[in-house]
Amino acid sequence: MPQTVKLCAFLVANQFDIKGIKTFLDIKPLADSSSELFYFFDGQKFQYYFNFGVVVFSGYSEDEMKWAIKTVQPFQRNQVVPPLRDDHTISANPGNELRFGFDELILDKIDDKVIRITMFNLAQSVALDHYHAVTENLLTEVKVFTNQLETTGKLKVSRNNMMRFMGRALNTQNDIAENIYIFDAPDLVWDDAYLDKLHQGLIKHFDLRVRFSEIEYTLRIIEDNLGVFREVINQRESSLLEWIIIILILVEVFDLLITKLLKLT
């Protein structure tokens, strides 16, 4: 009999407290680590939590998913409002060859391993959507600063605000390095050629490596610009310090002249 399973991924926060969710749900997961929790519930329902703020559902209604997300709200850090969402369908029929359609995976059978691998890659995809938006916003802010340099020859931003911007850019870079692991295959594909083929096919289908490279390239551009901004600010502060020193020297000279004039009189 043909079988269809719909997966729904939501990025609801910048981070999930995985340990807190595991304690709260108090149900033994099918698979768990410090960064993931994969659960099976009655009625062929699955939930997959990732530490980078993504939860993926299978077999749930819209109301059930909303309720589940609200239930784990205390374990969400830096909520993303509105949440990002991406859906994908798995269709199975005996005899089908593994192939990938638009928003659809087609194969001959569905089991918990197939669902987990597909959920894993769908979660990476929606996370990349989020980081793409974040890096594009950072690049837009960088362009504001470069336009200032082009039109006025000056950088109209305080050192404190620039340092905050640099911190935000570096934190984004660190988050991506910690949370996006498309180059690391899940453990269950290591000894299963079919699952490995499925995993590699999903990476290609979602363009994960290409999108990851685009984000990396954008971050490199931002990093190069930040280096220039840092030099401009340091030069500006050096010039200010030089003027302060010159003024102090002039004050000393005037003081000395006045003192000598008073003695002569």
How many whole angstroms separate alpha carbon 231 and alpha carbon 229? 5
Both tokens of 121, joined, read 């890659």
pLDDT, position 183:
55
> Is-above-0.75 flag for pTM?
yes
pLDDT, position 101:
85
CA distances (Å), origin 172, targets 77, 113, 150, 166, 230: 15, 31, 27, 10, 18
Per-domain boundaries in the chain: 3-222
Across the chain, which has 265 residues, the per-10-residue mean pLDDT values are: 87 94 92 91 93 95 96 93 94 87 89 94 93 91 85 76 82 77 69 89 92 90 84 64 64 68 66
- DSSP symbols for 85-115: EEEEEEEE-TTPPPEEETTEEEES---HHHH
pLDDT, position 151:
85
pLDDT, position 49:
96
pLDDT, position 236:
58
